[in-house]
Chains A and B, each alone.
Chain A
C-alpha cells in the first residue's frame, strides 16, 4: 500500500475541508489528463463507492476526463465531481494543466501542434 500523508482515506472529502467544497479549485476540462500518478492503493479502491472506484481503477492509465467518462459509463458531470473528490484526496493528479486556460494563445504549444500535424499530412 502506498504511503499517503493526507487525511485518512475513510474520511469523506467534505469532512476534510473547513467549509463547503469548492469545485472551482481544479479546472477539469473534458480533455484534461488525469491519472493516479504511478501508484494505486487497493485498500483505498475497496473503500470507494462503486462509481468512484471504477474511475480510480481506470485512472491507473493516464487518460482524459472524456475517456474516463466514456469508459466508466458515467456522465461527464458525475465524472468531474468524482474525479474532483479524488483530486482533493490527493489520489489522482492532473497532468500539466498549465496551458488549459488559453491554449489558443500559447504559441509554443501551437508550434508543437503544427509540427505534429505536418507529419500526418
Chain B
C-alpha cells in the first residue's frame, strides 16, 4: 500500500469500510433509519457545520417538527469480521448540497427516502442522484405508521422516476426493514456492476 512503506514493523488488523448514503428531504426519516440499524447511537455532526445555522428549518405544521439535523448524522453496521458499513444521512437543507459530492464520493450507493405526504421535499435528492452523483441509487417510500397511502406506480409517476431505478416501500423504524432497503441498494449496485448477475436470474 502506498504511503506507509516505512512502518511495516507492527501488524494491524485488516479492515475494510463501505458507505451507503441515505438521502431525502426534511423529516422523511433519514435519522430514524440510521438510528434503527446502527450499532452505535447515531452520531450527530453539528460541530462540523456550526457556521451554517442561521435560520431554523420549518416543516409542515402537521408534522410537529420544527428543526432538523443541522448537518448530517451517521451510524455503523458491522457486516463481517473485516468489513464495516457506514451509513451517512445527507444534510437536508439546500445550503448543504455542495457537501453531498464529498459525502457520496466512494459510496456503494444511496437510498433516497420519500414521504408521500410531502414528495416535493425529496425532489432535490432525486434530481441529484439522477443527474449528478454517478452512484447506484434506490428510492424508498417511508411508510409512516406502516400505512401505504399511494400505490408505488403513482409514486414513480409523481417522481418521474426512471424505470430502471428500484422503488420500494417500508417503515424505516424497524431495523430489519432498513436492512432490506439497504440490501436493495447493494443488489442494484451488484446488478449494475455485474450484468451477468441479472442474466443468471
The interface of chain A, by Cβ under 8 A from chain B, is 2-6, 25-27, 29-33, 35, 37-39, 62, 64, 66-67, 69-70, 73-76, 87, 90, 93-101, 103-107, 109-118, 120-121
Residue of A nearest to B50 (CB): A75
What's the least CB distance linking B134 to chain A, in Å?
9
**Chain B contacts for A116, CB-based, 8 A:** 77-80, 83, 85
Residue of B nearest to A101 (CB): B106
**Chain B contacts for A3, CB-based, 8 A:** 9
What's the least CB distance linking A22 to chain B, in Å?
12
**A69, A73, A103, A115 pick with most chain B CB within 10 angstroms:** A103
B187 touches A114 (CB 8 A): yes
Q: How far is the CA of A106 from the CA of B136 in the complex (A)?
A: 13
Asked if B56 is at the interface of the complex by the 8 Å CB criterion, the answer is no
Q: Number of residue pairs across A and B with beta carbons under 8 Å?
A: 164
Q: List 7 A-B residue pairs with CB atoms under 8 Å apart, sorted by A's residue number.
A: A27-B106, A30-B102, A31-B19, A33-B16, A109-B83, A121-B176, A121-B183
**Chain B contacts for A114, CB-based, 8 A:** 183, 186-187, 190
A4 with B7, Cβ < 8 A, contacts A31-B18, A31-B19 known: yes
Asked if B10 is at the interface of the complex by the 8 Å CB criterion, the answer is yes
Q: How far is the CA of A38 from the CA of B6 in the complex (A)?
A: 15
What's the least CB distance linking A46 to chain B, in Å?
20
The interface of chain B, by Cβ under 8 A from chain A, is 1-4, 6-7, 9-19, 37, 43-45, 47-49, 74, 76-80, 83-86, 88, 102-103, 105-109, 135-136, 175-176, 179-180, 182-183, 186-187, 189-190, 192-194, 197
**Chain A contacts for B18, CB-based, 8 A:** 31, 99, 103, 109, 113
A120 touches B1 (CB 8 A): no
Residue of B nearest to A96 (CB): B16
Residue of B nearest to A5 (CB): B6
A110 touches B10 (CB 8 A): no
What's the least CB distance linking B52 to chain A, in Å?
11
Our pick among A66, A95, A111 for the contact of B43 (Cβ within 8 Å) is A66
A90 touches B6 (CB 8 A): yes
A104 with B107, Cβ < 8 A, contacts A62-B13, A113-B83 known: yes
Q: How far is the CA of A115 from the CA of B79 in the complex (A)?
A: 8
Our pick among B10, B77, B187 for the contact of A37 (Cβ within 8 Å) is B10
**Chain A contacts for B189, CB-based, 8 A:** 104, 110
**Chain B contacts for A93, CB-based, 8 A:** 4, 7, 12
